[in-house]
Chains A and B, each alone.
Chain A
């Protein structure tokens, strides 16, 4: 819709409005229906003294004569205008969209660069119009952006960018780009002053022309009432001092504040150095001081600055103390005598010099009334800045965006304009623009945008409709990434594109109306966040991805899914294929579809798949969203697989039940509105809960027990809690049941906790894929290199490389896997935002990310762990007795092992057939210095355990990274050292959290000692079988720890025993062959460098081959 001229005029200043009137007149004359940018150009060119003509004159190429080129321009404009269709004569041809867009653009530009902003501030009492009026110059600049205009100009041999530059750049008569004498902006420091007229600087603006900041600062110190003597300090201090002295001596008045004009500088640095270093006579020095004193007395000007030069001469090594103190005291008395008339000035290259001086004369600061003035750079280098700074010409493309210098426009009109702009409006405008430019600098940026969106975005939003947030965000995001120069163009393009997308969306909406709420609950949790996740991956300018994304928001347009559901069943099938096609076309990334597949493929879906309906019907029921359809194949796959899975039983029961209720529902689906569906699905959901009965409890418990055999009690509690929650004993949200379950595992056994959680994921959601694991404490402790426990599937969240916070990472994962077990380790050490999100999630059933968007967690089981709490008390007293504590094992590294033959140890004691012992390696292990060695004998087996125990660390309130890495590593899993000293508030948060969880489970510590015993015995058996009883095997402590860790981590019980049987025995045999051992000796099994992944035995973090040395 073209805009009425009167409306457009409102946006323009008087001058610009006149130009617009001319343009309208041109359009009327030619009988055109609309006033376009071309008309404006034509009108602007006809004016004799027009700015555009002037700019063209300066921008034209010198190849042609100016007259010829202008003629060509007029001609090409005329021809272009002739081409426009003429219509019936209108009194005022309305302003075309393109011209209006240009006006809008210039408005935006002007907002961004409100030149003489300060003027406006000063006169802000005159608030009249609320609209920002576009000046002529900005108006012209924007018109030149119009592609038609640039084409026409191009035909005449002009380049619109040249013209723009010419408009931005004032004619060459202006002396320098940077001197702003005509309209000096008020400096920031002055802005703080209460009176705008008064300047807090003692310097007139003209004084800046030399650009020597250092001199200015020296002057500033001198002029202060306290009469401080500046001591310049810094690498460039001497240079700055020299510059100052030279400047003053050459009489550059501008260098100094007005109060100081006529300042005299006397340099006595040479005299001083002669006196103190070369041993000049005292008399000579004395006379010099007297001379200075006389001069000070007679001085008529503001005073004398007495330069003692570089401080270094006074403190250099060869200087005798007497002479130095003579100089110092003389200078002091001079200062006292002529206070107010005399200043000292000096320089020190480094602070060390000054400190040395200070050490000799502790009172010098007071005596000499020193003021330390740090000098950051020298004048010479600053001058270098200026020589280069006329580079603006090289930024042609940005021409339009530079703040235009003020002399182009009529100064009066400029002032008028600022009178008329009201303060609050201006503020708002600034804020608005800034918020666009800032790209989410605040958390609430999305809200802000929805609040006051620029008009063009607002229309875009209306078009996309239904308040679909994500497209808007996507637009904004892309907007943000787009640079200034191309922003407007691209935004327009985007807007267009979005309109198209939107149209298509509306077109394809029937697809999504099939939404069955049950599935929608999943979809809904995805839709809001999927775009955000994608957004992070794709650059905002990538149009294809944006389009893909647009497919997602559509399923959840709420009104649609409830009101008009197509009733014919066969239509479903059609639609589903449609939807599929759409999806393929849109080029969904493989990753996305894959994640959907896995999710749908999980055995928990069989309720749907086992309905035993004809396949097309089944599909129609699950073609609730485009993506579900994609996963169909997998659903069947998973049903096929089901018999093999151990937990088949209760699934079957469930599905049996489901098939009944579901098929009943199904008819409803096909006939009735989705409103009914909500109800039926709800009822089925509740019956689903009821389905979990003692049988499930048993199966759950037995599967868990199989995985983590040593935590029997805990498993009982856990499986009970899970079943209870599933069967309706869960938390309520309002009157609805919530599906999220919250468990907290307390106490030790980190791996046990993890494996229980992982097993839960497998049992309840059918795959390891639905397991999200985050170690909330990992950020504080940092990751050990090459630790056994540094494992991809163990540490899904790699804090180092994601660039996002835990909250956002978790939110992303949750939306990707809406049915899963979330395993959060060290919840007590979570950072504040994460804690807040978790608390909110446990209260409301929705997990908010850092931008406040919420993800449903209805099908999530949260397992949080903490090493603090009840478990601590159990563990603490035992700690010292343990040979292998959990901390030591957790610190295990993947090492290659090496077998070597050692010398015969005299104290080798053959104890009742135990030829295997565990020993600490001595000095070769760097960390053992810090360890105190313990020699202990284990009663039961009489083995010698030469133990290296990590020294008990005093619990520190912080983690000092300046300490060697080793200590930090040892700290990692000590639950007893609270690493956050400001954790008061976080503790209360945590308490709240722990109160809220469904079940707190305390785990027992893993008995490493027993395992170690068992393993050693096993090894002993094998070893003796090979070598007989004469040879002793010494296993390095580190190696034993590694073996224990491997056993702890391994999936099934006998994995380490197998390793001993296969790998270790093999190396025993090899060793026997190689060394032909006869006499008693010691074999050693040592760690030997890092273990590469390919050298590992399958399933264990132990080497597949042991090196024989």
Chain B
């Protein structure tokens, strides 16, 4: 029945390479976010694409509000997919929430991953005593209230902010996928993400990581990238991307793809 899971999460395997690459999208997008990145890797990798259960392209009935209370459930989904496909080792590219998922997954099954590439990753989005995550609890509550009040309006405002760079196509694409998410699911996932705190166990990650950080990201301050670099247990590098926004794979694919390739080949 593994194929039902693969079907439900729209798992797609493309490409002709031997090595396996997983592209995992972040909050508010679905696998289509990788569309412009994909051609760069198809000749060299078997690329696995899937949708997180919260994505708008997945039947919302699969989103179980009691199962997906923490990121662990998403990690289980990832493992299930990889197991169903018979993958025993892969490189993993995760954006935003998927970066968190990747970190968790790499702790639980380090042998499965040869490399983690984390785009717009953050171990914790909220500020703490001596940690700057970028968001204050109060701010985030306001965001949640705004999401509840009028999701459409929130999307309209949030998408350009998040994309950052002035790329209308990217904004439109992100708005679309964001809006595709059922509002309650979207809010629920956002809460899950903002409640998560991975700082306590970053050191347990032994897989080599590459953090890709854009020069200005509304969701992830630059200090976070350095925090990750300092705390992740494996060999970790930070790649700065000379563009703005939280979604470089949408807004600057031509810039990101070569970076990814280099990071992967190392």
Which A residues are closer than 8 A to B by beta carbons?
Answer: 112-118, 121, 178, 185, 187-189, 191-194, 196, 208-209, 211-214, 217, 233-237, 348-352, 354-355, 372, 374-378, 381-382, 384-385, 388-389, 391-392, 394-395, 397-398, 401-403, 427, 430, 434, 437-443, 480-481, 483-485, 536-537, 539-540, 779-780, 782-783, 799-806, 809, 831-833, 850, 958-962, 979-982, 985
In the complex, residue of chain A having the shortest beta-carbon distance to the beta carbon of B196: A376
Shortest C-beta distance, B138 to chain A (Å), equals: 14
Interface residue from B7, B40, B183, B250 paired with A832 (Cβ < 8 Å): B40
Pair B262/A958 contact, Cβ less than 8 Å: yes
Shortest C-beta distance, A156 to chain B (Å), equals: 28
When distances are taken between beta carbons in the complex, the residues of chain A under 8 Å from B1 are 191-194, 196
Interface residue from B39, B148, B252, B262 paired with A800 (Cβ < 8 Å): B252
Pair B254/A831 contact, Cβ less than 8 Å: yes
Which B residues are closer than 8 A to A by beta carbons?
Answer: 1-2, 4-5, 7-10, 30-32, 35-36, 38-40, 43-44, 53, 56-57, 59-62, 64-67, 69-73, 76-77, 80, 83-84, 100, 104, 107-108, 124, 144, 148-149, 151-152, 165-170, 172-173, 175-176, 179-180, 182-184, 187-188, 191-192, 195-204, 233, 237-240, 242-243, 250-255, 257-258, 261-262, 265-266
Given A484-B179, A783-B242, 10 other A-B residues pairs in contact with their CB atoms under 8 A: A118-B4, A189-B80, A191-B1, A237-B200, A389-B184, A441-B31, A779-B254, A803-B167, A804-B36, A805-B257
A982 to B1, CA, bound (A): 38
Query: Which of A354, A443, A536, A833 is the most central at the interface, judged by chain B CB atoms within 10 Å of its CB?
Result: A833
When distances are taken between beta carbons in the complex, the residues of chain B under 8 Å from A374 are 72, 104, 107-108, 198, 200-201, 204
Shortest C-beta distance, B124 to chain A (Å), equals: 8
A508 to B76, CA, bound (A): 59
Query: Which of B67, B188, B254 is the most central at the interface, judged by chain A CB atoms within 10 Å of its CB?
Result: B254
Pair A394/B167 contact, Cβ less than 8 Å: no
> Given A388-B191, A391-B184, A481-B172, A961 and B240 touching (CB < 8 A)?
yes
Shortest C-beta distance, A202 to chain B (Å), equals: 14
Pair A392/B184 contact, Cβ less than 8 Å: yes
Pair B258/A234 contact, Cβ less than 8 Å: no
In the complex, residue of chain A having the shortest beta-carbon distance to the beta carbon of B198: A376
Pair B104/A376 contact, Cβ less than 8 Å: yes
Cβ contacts A to B, 18 pairs, < 8 Å: A185-B62, A191-B1, A194-B1, A213-B72, A235-B124, A235-B197, A351-B203, A355-B203, A382-B69, A389-B184, A397-B152, A430-B7, A438-B32, A536-B169, A800-B165, A980-B258, A980-B262, A982-B44
Interface residue from B10, B66, B182 paired with A208 (Cβ < 8 Å): B66
> Given A233-B204, A484-B180, A803-B169, A188 and B9 touching (CB < 8 A)?
yes
Interface residue from B5, B124, B151 paired with A188 (Cβ < 8 Å): B5
Pair A962/B35 contact, Cβ less than 8 Å: no
Shortest C-beta distance, B183 to chain A (Å), equals: 5
Shortest C-beta distance, B140 to chain A (Å), equals: 11
In the complex, residue of chain B having the shortest beta-carbon distance to the beta carbon of A438: B32
Interface residue from A194, A209, A397, A442 paired with B35 (Cβ < 8 Å): A442
Pair A480/B176 contact, Cβ less than 8 Å: yes
In the complex, residue of chain B having the shortest beta-carbon distance to the beta carbon of A398: B183
Interface residue from B44, B64, B191, B202 paired with A384 (Cβ < 8 Å): B191
Pair A381/B10 contact, Cβ less than 8 Å: no
Pair B255/A800 contact, Cβ less than 8 Å: yes
When distances are taken between beta carbons in the complex, the residues of chain A under 8 Å from B203 are 350-352, 354-355
Shortest C-beta distance, B56 to chain A (Å), equals: 7
Pair A391/B204 contact, Cβ less than 8 Å: no
A401 to B169, CA, bound (A): 26
Pair B62/A188 contact, Cβ less than 8 Å: yes
Pair A188/B8 contact, Cβ less than 8 Å: yes
A403 to B64, CA, bound (A): 13
A191 to B83, CA, bound (A): 13
Shortest C-beta distance, B188 to chain A (Å), equals: 6
Shortest C-beta distance, B133 to chain A (Å), equals: 12
Shortest C-beta distance, A767 to chain B (Å), equals: 27
Pair A351/B200 contact, Cβ less than 8 Å: yes
When distances are taken between beta carbons in the complex, the residues of chain B under 8 Å from A211 are 66, 69
Interface residue from B67, B71, B144, B242 paired with A187 (Cβ < 8 Å): B67
A530 to B56, CA, bound (A): 31
When distances are taken between beta carbons in the complex, the residues of chain B under 8 Å from A377 are 70-71, 192, 195-197
Shortest C-beta distance, B80 to chain A (Å), equals: 5
A397 to B155, CA, bound (A): 15
In the complex, residue of chain B having the shortest beta-carbon distance to the beta carbon of A477: B172
Pair A799/B180 contact, Cβ less than 8 Å: no
Interface residue from B77, B167, B180 paired with A802 (Cβ < 8 Å): B167
Shortest C-beta distance, B39 to chain A (Å), equals: 4
When distances are taken between beta carbons in the complex, the residues of chain A under 8 Å from B64 are 185, 187
When distances are taken between beta carbons in the complex, the residues of chain A under 8 Å from B167 are 801-803
Interface residue from A235, A438, A782, A803 paired with B253 (Cβ < 8 Å): A803
A114 to B148, CA, bound (A): 25
Pair A782/B266 contact, Cβ less than 8 Å: no
A322 to B153, CA, bound (A): 63
Pair A439/B173 contact, Cβ less than 8 Å: yes
A223 to B199, CA, bound (A): 27
Pair B239/A961 contact, Cβ less than 8 Å: yes
Pair B36/A395 contact, Cβ less than 8 Å: no
In the complex, residue of chain B having the shortest beta-carbon distance to the beta carbon of A397: B152
Pair B262/A804 contact, Cβ less than 8 Å: no
In the complex, residue of chain A having the shortest beta-carbon distance to the beta carbon of B55: A438
Pair B196/A439 contact, Cβ less than 8 Å: no
Pair A801/B107 contact, Cβ less than 8 Å: no
Pair A782/B262 contact, Cβ less than 8 Å: no
When distances are taken between beta carbons in the complex, the residues of chain B under 8 Å from A115 are 61
In the complex, residue of chain B having the shortest beta-carbon distance to the beta carbon of A207: B66
When distances are taken between beta carbons in the complex, the residues of chain B under 8 Å from A194 are 1
When distances are taken between beta carbons in the complex, the residues of chain A under 8 Å from B166 are 801
In the complex, residue of chain A having the shortest beta-carbon distance to the beta carbon of B212: A961
When distances are taken between beta carbons in the complex, the residues of chain A under 8 Å from B152 are 397, 483, 485
When distances are taken between beta carbons in the complex, the residues of chain B under 8 Å from A189 are 67, 76-77, 80
When distances are taken between beta carbons in the complex, the residues of chain B under 8 Å from A354 are 203-204
In the complex, residue of chain A having the shortest beta-carbon distance to the beta carbon of B262: A958
In the complex, residue of chain A having the shortest beta-carbon distance to the beta carbon of B83: A192
> Given A385-B69, A441-B30, A188 and B183 touching (CB < 8 A)?
no
A178 to B66, CA, bound (A): 8
A1019 to B124, CA, bound (A): 60
Pair B184/A234 contact, Cβ less than 8 Å: no
Pair A213/B73 contact, Cβ less than 8 Å: yes
Shortest C-beta distance, B74 to chain A (Å), equals: 10
When distances are taken between beta carbons in the complex, the residues of chain B under 8 Å from A192 are 1-2, 4-5, 80, 83-84
7 tightest A-B CB contacts, nearest first: A441-B32, A803-B167, A351-B203, A234-B200, A381-B195, A208-B66, A377-B195
A682 to B35, CA, bound (A): 41
When distances are taken between beta carbons in the complex, the residues of chain A under 8 Å from B176 are 439, 480-481, 483
A395 to B185, CA, bound (A): 12
Interface residue from A196, A349, A481 paired with B200 (Cβ < 8 Å): A349
When distances are taken between beta carbons in the complex, the residues of chain A under 8 Å from B199 are 234-235, 350
A376 to B151, CA, bound (A): 27
> Given A188-B8, A439-B176, A833 and B184 touching (CB < 8 A)?
no
When distances are taken between beta carbons in the complex, the residues of chain A under 8 Å from B124 are 235
A298 to B187, CA, bound (A): 49
Shortest C-beta distance, B102 to chain A (Å), equals: 13
In the complex, residue of chain B having the shortest beta-carbon distance to the beta carbon of A205: B66
Pair A213/B70 contact, Cβ less than 8 Å: yes
When distances are taken between beta carbons in the complex, the residues of chain B under 8 Å from A395 are 151, 183-184
When distances are taken between beta carbons in the complex, the residues of chain A under 8 Å from B148 are 388, 391, 394
Pair A804/B169 contact, Cβ less than 8 Å: yes
Shortest C-beta distance, A172 to chain B (Å), equals: 18
Shortest C-beta distance, B259 to chain A (Å), equals: 8
Query: Which of B107, B172, B262 is the most central at the interface, judged by chain A CB atoms within 10 Å of its CB?
Result: B262
When distances are taken between beta carbons in the complex, the residues of chain A under 8 Å from B76 are 189
Shortest C-beta distance, A740 to chain B (Å), equals: 23
Shortest C-beta distance, A26 to chain B (Å), equals: 35
